[in-house]
Amino acid sequence: MAQNASPATDVPTREGGVIVASDEQPNHDFDQYSTYSWSVQLQEPNSIFALNDLVLKSRIISDLAYEMEARGYEQVASNPDLIVSFRVFDAPTEFTGYEGFGTNYFGDEIREPEDRVRYKFDAGTLIVHLIDNKTDEVVWQGYASGLIDGNVFDLDKDEVAEAVHMVMDEYNYNAKGMASNE
């Protein structure tokens, strides 16, 4: 995996030049979740959220399902607590997240609006969103950038599984009633 990512902020770099990081909704209670389902876009057979590659999409779904179930989450067909979505970017992209902790780190508030930061990534970024089904808000997002080998996303099943694992390794929560990963 080549080192092609260039985020606007200082985020951790893992072995092989892959940049992995995450952020979450401030002050959010993740202990309330026990079930998940896939976003509508991922359930569509010909969606383009994985480089328009159905094999890659299938591998990422399978690997994410493994990661969610390892944390005690149950996949359900309707009314899930969390909706899982992902996208693989084949072109440079930007999105907004939060940097560090807010000024009230030891108080009630963790982050503040002024802590927002723009992330800029080169092609080859996998981003995973966990969305609260009741509020329709993204409560957690994790990403791995630098997954391009030359000009091509590395489609090797072991490399895809490792990329998904690196992203989900940033998610330090388990399903309701299961011991925490922290």
pLDDT band with cut points at 50, 70 and 90 for residue 153: low
- The strand pairing partners of 87, in sequence order, are 127
Delineate the domains of the chain, giving CATH numbers in brackets: 15-168 (3.30.160)
Average pLDDT, the chain: 76
Predicted pLDDT of residue 144: 87
13 forms beta bridges with: 19
Inter-axis angle of helices 157-168 and 54-70, nearest 10: 40
Q: What's the rounded mean pLDDT across residues 132-142?
A: 91
Beta strands in 8-51 (DSSP E): 19-24, 35-38
CA distance 132 to 59: 24
| Top-confidence residue, 67 or 90 | 67
Mean pLDDT of the region 14-43:
84
**Res. 103: pLDDT tops 60:** no
Band (pLDDT 50/70/90 cuts) for residue 43 is: confident
The Cα angle at residue 94 between residues 31 and 82, in degrees rounded to 5: 20
pLDDT at 42: 76
Q: What is the pLDDT of residue 149?
A: 65
pTM of the model: 0.77
Phi, psi values for residue 126, rounded to 5°: -105, 125
Coil vs helix vs strand at 98: strand
Cα–Cα distance, 44 to 24 (Å, whole number): 27
